[in-house]
């Protein structure tokens, strides 16, 4: 089981393939293995070296305590890139992982050659604030809802209407969600819940100079496509792609479309 010490934390990672490195950063509470089902095989087949990481707070990486900030996770990612990639590389992030990557593009642009931001935004809105506050409240009050109820709510929040109309697909997703019900006593996940976007960063992102693809999902309720379009408009020269029939988990729900857009961007091909 490989680990890397980034200077402030020891992180678990996995790498597959050879060639130019692509570092994939997962979202809140998610493990690096979420990328390994679809994105890692596609990257390796295209000749890249895919590096997935468990962010601080997700075992077996170091735990995260109260006060965790996006700057902490940016420093972790920068340290990982320096030690494993040996220099600038391609970066991919989803949700909180995209937040980490876009902040790294401001503070350590020397470490990124290209970036893909999935299910992301550049500013909060009323719903995102309410959702983040509600999730923190569940953890702070130790409210463990029944696994079946949690699975149903996660499906509604993260999947597209098209998937929800497919009985077999829905049942498969519900089974996965029920087996991976969140633990409200998990201090690492609780710490990561504080790393939500609380201020408008669109003005800051106008300073990003790294070639960037903003990839939104048409049915995303957590990071709506409208927020993704705003983000892409703020980043000079950014490309924007919207994936149909996909919710917040679009990289798992519509992996072929996501992978094709990512690989075209990496290869410098037209959208």
Write the pLDDT tens digit of every residue in 191-238.
999 999 999 999 999 999 999 999 999 999 999 999 999 999 999 999
Give how many domains the chain has, as a whole number: 1
Question: Would residue 167 show up in a list of annotated catalytic residues for this protein?
Answer: no
Report yes or no on 100 lying in a domain: yes
Task: Please give the pLDDT value at position 271.
Answer: 73
Report yes or no on 159 lying in a domain: no
CA triplet 52, 58, 64: central angle to 5 degrees? Answer: 125
Catalytic residue among 95, 128, 160, 216: 95
Report yes or no on 173 lying in a domain: no
Strands 3-5 and 10-16 come out as antiparallel
Across the beta sheet with 212-217, the strand order is: 3-5, 10-16, 49-53, 21-25, 89-94, 112-118, 212-217, 239-243
Report yes or no on 231 lying in a domain: yes
Alpha-carbon distance 261 to 216, whole Å? 11
Question: Would residue 248 show up in a list of annotated catalytic residues for this protein?
Answer: yes
Residue position matching structure tokens 């596609």: 42
Task: Please give the pLDDT value at position 4.
Answer: 97
Task: Please give the pLDDT value at position 257.
Answer: 98
Report yes or no on 22 lying in a domain: yes
In this structure, what are the phi and psi dihedrals at residue 54, rounded to the nearest 5 degrees?
Answer: -95, 115
Q: pLDDT tier at 181 (50, 70, 90 boundaries)? A: confident
Predicted structure pTM score: 0.97
Maximum CA extent, the chain: 49
- Interval 163-172: pLDDT, tens: 999 999 999 9
Task: Please give the pLDDT value at position 218.
Answer: 98
Residues 6+ apart with CB under 8 A from 101: 25, 77, 91, 92, 93, 112, 115, 117
Crossing angle of helices 70-80 and 96-107, rounded to 10°: 70
Question: Would residue 38 show up in a list of annotated catalytic residues for this protein?
Answer: no
Q: Is-contact 89 81, C-beta < 8 A?
A: yes
Sign of CA dihedral 127, 104, 67, 178: positive
Report yes or no on 72 lying in a domain: yes
CA triplet 233, 235, 238: central angle to 5 degrees? Answer: 80
- Interval 127-149: pLDDT, tens: 999 999 999 999 999 988 899 99
Report yes or no on 209 lying in a domain: yes
- The range of the structural domain enclosing residue 222 comes to 3-125+199-266
Report yes or no on 132 lying in a domain: no
Nearest residue to 253 (alpha-carbon basis) of 176, 179, 182: 176
Q: Does the structure show a pLDDT above 90 at 185?
A: no
Task: Please give the pLDDT value at position 180.
Answer: 84
- Interval 57-110: pLDDT, tens: 999 999 998 999 999 999 999 999 999 999 999 999 999 999 999 999 999 999
CATH number at residue 45: 3.40.50.1820
Helix H or strand E segment including 10: strand 10-16
Is the backbone peptide bond immediately before 60 cis, with ω within 30 degrees of 0?
yes
Q: Is-contact 94 118, C-beta < 8 A?
A: yes
Q: Does the structure show a pLDDT above 80 at 270?
A: no
- Interval 146-180: pLDDT, tens: 999 999 999 999 999 999 999 999 999 999 999 88
Task: Please give the pLDDT value at position 1.
Answer: 83
Task: Please give the pLDDT value at position 129.
Answer: 95
């Amino acid at each position: 089981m490989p680990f890397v010490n980034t200077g402030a934390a020891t992180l678990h990672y996995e790498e597959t393939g050879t060639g130019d490195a692509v570092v994939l950063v997962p979202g809140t509470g998610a493990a690096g293995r979420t990328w390994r089902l679809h994105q890692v095989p596609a990257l390796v087949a295209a000749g890249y070296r895919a590096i997935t990481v468990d962010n601080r707070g997700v075992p077996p990486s170091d735990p995260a305590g109260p006060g965790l900030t996006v700057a902490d996770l940016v420093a972790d990612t920068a340290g990982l890139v320096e030690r494993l990639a040996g220099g600038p590389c391609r970066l991919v992030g989803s949700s909180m992982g995209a937040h980490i990557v876009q902040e790294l593009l401001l503070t350590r642009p020397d470490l990124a050659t290209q970036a893909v931001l999935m299910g992301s935004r550049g500013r909060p809105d009323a719903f995102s604030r309410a959702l983040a506050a509600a999730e923190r409240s569940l953890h702070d009050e130790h409210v463990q809802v029944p696994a079946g109820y949690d699975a149903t709510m996660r499906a509604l929040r993260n999947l597209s209407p098209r998937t929800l109309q497919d009985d077999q697909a829905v049942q498969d997703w519900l089974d996965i969600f029920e087996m991976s019900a969140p633990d409200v006593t998990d201090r690492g996940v609780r710490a990561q819940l504080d790393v939500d976007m609380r201020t408008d960063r669109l003005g800051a992102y106008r300073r990003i100079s790294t070639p960037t693809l903003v990839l939104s999902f048409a049915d995303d309720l957590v990071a709506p496509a409208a927020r993704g379009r705003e983000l892409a408009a703020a980043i000079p020269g950014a490309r924007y792609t919207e994936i149909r029939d996909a919710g917040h988990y679009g990289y798992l729900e519509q992996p072929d479309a996501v992978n094709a857009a990512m690989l075209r961007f990496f290869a410098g091909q037209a959208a």
